[in-house]
């Protein structure tokens, strides 16, 4: 079968969620937690803030997110 079950998803250490609606942060975090994905979830309120997070992490040699959720409207 080609269906992927939530229990078959890889464990990710770091996820970045970018969305201008803070209410979605809770939903994303809850879905990721239930799926067992993402030990740490970073959040940004817009694309510019998300880029700043990525630039800062790169400049400080910090681990980069393995998954980025981006709300595009």
DSSP 13-30: SEEEEE-S-THHHHHHHH
Please tell me whether residue 48 adopts helix, strand or coil conformation. Answer: helix
The 10s digit of each residue's pLDDT in 9-64 is 677 889 999 999 888 888 888 888 888 787 889 999 999 999 999 999 999 999 99
Cα–Cα distance list, 49 to 18, 23, 40, 70 (Å): 8, 17, 17, 12
Q: Which residue has the higher pLDDT, 5 or 10?
A: 10
Q: Please name the residue ranges forming H helices in 1-73.
A: 23-35, 47-59
Give dist(CA 34, CA 28) in Å, integer: 10
pTM as predicted:
0.78
């Amino acid at each position: 079968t080609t269906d992927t079950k939530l229990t078959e998803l890889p464990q990710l250490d770091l996820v970045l969620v970018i969305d201008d609606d803070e209410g979605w942060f809770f939903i994303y975090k809850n879905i990721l937690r239930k799926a067992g994905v993402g030990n740490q979830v970073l959040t940004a309120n817009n694309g510019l803030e998300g880029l700043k997070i990525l630039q800062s992490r790169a400049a400080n040699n910090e681990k980069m997110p393995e998954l980025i959720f981006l709300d595009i409207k």
